[in-house]
Structures are given as C-alpha cells and as structure tokens.
Amino acid sequence: MRACLLIAILSLCCAARAAAQPESSEVKGYYDKAFGFYVSGDYQKAIEYWNLVLQSDPRQTTAKNMIEEARKKMACSSVSLKSSFLRLLEKGRYADAQLKLEELLPTDPTNPYYLKMQGRLRRISAIVAARPASSKAWKTAAEGISSWLGEKEDLPFAYDALRYAMELAPHDRAFSGLVAALEEEAPQLKLNDSKPENTGILEHKKKLALDQIYDSKFYLAVKELEGVLRLEPEDVIALKRLGSAYLQLKDYRQARSSWQRALEIAPDDAQLKEYLEALDKAAPAEASQPQPRHRTARRSKKKHREAGPETESKN
C-alpha cells in the first residue's frame, strides 16, 4: 500500500515536471537522487537534493512541493521519537534520553532545542546517568534538571533547586557537580546571585520577597514566593507572605487561598486567623471570587496593617 502511494506521488510529480520548463542534465540528476532518497525514507537527504534543484533553477515548483511533502513525513516520523525522548527525561533516565536524542536529531538536524539538549544531556549524564533514588533531595534535583532541560527552560529555578538539593544532601557530590555544570553554562546565574554564603536558599528567597513587599514590588514578591513553594509546598511563612503580596495586588481570592492553605498546615496559628478575619471584613465579596476593582478594594490598604507582612517580620 505504501509503495503504491509513493508511486502515485512520484507519477504526479513526474507529470508536473514534464509540463514545466525544460531541465538541465544537472537538475535531472538531482531529481533522480532526491526521489531515490525519498522512496527509501531518507527525507533529509531528499530535501538536500531538492534544495540543489532550486539553487540551479528556482522556478522548479515540483522541488518546492516535494520539500513540503518530505517535511510532513519527517514531522510524522519524529512525533513518536520525541514522545519517547520526553518520557525518558521525565523518568530521570538522562543517559537513555541522550541516546534517544541521537535518533531524534536526524529528523530535524537544525532544531535549536535538540541542538541545545545535546550539550546539556552530555554534561548531565556524565554526572548522573539516571536519577538514583526517590529521596527528597533527588526529587528536588529532578525538578531543577527538568527546568534546565525543558523546552520552556527556567534556569534560575533550576539553579535554586539544585542548590537546595545540595543543602538537603550535602555529602552527595552529584549535586555540586550539577550546580557547577549549570554555572559553567550560564555564568550569569552565579554573577547575579545575591545569596549570602551561609544563608539557605529558601530563607534567602523569603527575605527577598519580604523586602520586595516593603518596596511595593508585589509581582516580584509573588514570583519569589512561588519559587519557594515549588520546592517546599508547606512552607507556612512563604504562604503568609504570598497572601500579603496578593492582598496588595487586590487579588483577594488568591490572598485568601494562600492563607487558608497555611492555616491547614498550621491550624493553631493565631496570626493567620486574624489575617482571614480582616480580609472577610475588608472585602467579603472579593474574598470568595475575583471582582472588578472598586472603592471597597481601596479600603483594604487600611486593613493591610492587620493582615500584611509587617507582623510577619516577627516570625
């Protein structure tokens, strides 16, 4: 069936070529090689020869059409390979993912993501071929490596996660090796880092967020605190400060959600109960669902002294 379909495609192409402008012997030779590679499934080589056709004669519409067909074939054949590659990354099998990438790369040899992954996986798999354990430290490191290797990379978070893994398991040399590899690839991470030497990653980020709240940089504070909670979802101080940042952004639903999550973890925390009571008085409607900004929201600034970060500095 596949052979019949290929013959039909090639017959149509030959008919189109016959109706088109005359070909030189050089162009004919390129076409013959291109069709040979196409039939054998080597679509990249076929595209190379059709590009040679176009370099010799840009008017050759058959070559343009066949390049598009070959690219469609390549896309179909690479889907399953890419899925396998991403599954290996998700499972923490970095050396196996590197081998799978070598299979995937010929399907799209100029893909910038694949090319970038080549170098990164080579460095990572030289340090750790596969995630060795399900310990908290390795789960944290795996989060960081995923942010390093993802199509939507997040190198600052990867850097924080790998350094936090070092704090959790200081005797595991793999973590220091991974941090060093990331710093070598992205030296700006270390250059821009303001963390004091003897301060933990999470404490530093929470302090940064508190300073940003005092400086009215609420969006930056939210970003820092969400980074903390990706690493430690039950960090009560981070949840308190996140609620305070959302309160100042007038996102009462998120403020309430953050403080309620904190209260579930620390049910005896009197301060959290005060925050939620103050929020209910300041914005009862907005506390349960997002509403357009109006005068009621402005009054929340007065209540910020009861439910804001100022009292948190005692924690």
At 236, which CATH number? 1.25.40.10
Q: Establish if 196 belongs to a structural domain.
A: no
Whether residues 123 and 147 share a domain: the answer is yes
pLDDT at 130: 95
Q: Establish if 86 belongs to a structural domain.
A: no
155-170 pLDDT, tens digit each:
999 999 999 999 999 9
> Among the three residues 163, 191, 219, which one is the final residue of a domain in this structure?
191
Diameter of the chain by CA atoms? 88
> Among the three residues 142, 165, 191, which one is the final residue of a domain in this structure?
191
Number of domains in the chain: 3
Nearest-angstrom CA–CA distance, 266 and 260: 10
Cα distance from N-terminal residue to C-terminal residue, the chain: 72
pTM for the predicted model, two decimal places: 0.70
| Among the listed residues 197, 198, 210, the one whose alpha carbon sits nearest the alpha carbon of residue 243 | 210
Query: If you average pLDDT over every residue of the chain, what do you get?
Result: 85
Q: Establish if 214 belongs to a structural domain.
A: yes
Whether residues 12 and 47 share a domain: the answer is yes
191-232 pLDDT, tens digit each:
999 999 899 999 999 999 999 999 999 999 999 999 999 999
Q: Establish if 95 belongs to a structural domain.
A: yes
Whether residues 310 and 206 share a domain: the answer is yes
Q: Establish if 216 belongs to a structural domain.
A: yes
Q: What percent of the chain has pLDDT above 70?
A: 83
Q: What domain range includes position 255?
A: 201-314
> Among the three residues 19, 47, 78, which one is the final residue of a domain in this structure?
78
Whether residues 205 and 298 share a domain: the answer is yes
Q: Establish if 83 belongs to a structural domain.
A: no
Contact 54, 64 (CB under 8 A): yes
User: Alpha-carbon torsion 210, 213, 218, 220, what sign?
Assistant: negative
Whether residues 74 and 33 share a domain: the answer is yes
At 39, which CATH number? 1.25.40
Q: Would you place residue 302 in the very low, low, confident or very high pLDDT band (cuts 50, 70, 90)?
A: very low
Q: Would you place residue 77 in the very low, low, confident or very high pLDDT band (cuts 50, 70, 90)?
A: low
Nearest-angstrom CA–CA distance, 297 and 292: 9
Q: H-type helices in the chain, by residue range?
A: 2-19, 25-40, 43-56, 61-90, 94-104, 112-127, 136-149, 155-168, 173-185, 188-191, 201-214, 218-231, 236-248, 252-265, 270-282, 284-288, 295-298, 300-307
Whether residues 163 and 97 share a domain: the answer is yes
CA-atom Rg of the chain in angstroms:
29
Q: Establish if 130 belongs to a structural domain.
A: yes
For the chain, the residue count is 315
36-67 pLDDT, tens digit each:
988 988 888 899 999 999 999 999 999 999 99
Q: CA 271, 277, 283, 286: dihedral to nearest 10 degrees?
A: 80
Q: Flag whether pLDDT at 4 surpasses 90.
A: no
Q: What percent of the chain has pLDDT above 90?
A: 66
Nearest-angstrom CA–CA distance, 239 and 16: 67
138-158 pLDDT, tens digit each:
999 999 999 999 999 999 999
Whether residues 69 and 148 share a domain: the answer is no
pLDDT at 291: 46
User: How open is the CA angle 45-46-49, to the nearest 5 degrees?
Assistant: 90
Q: Establish if 25 belongs to a structural domain.
A: yes
The Cβ of residue 57 has, within 10 Å, a number of other Cβ atoms equal to 17
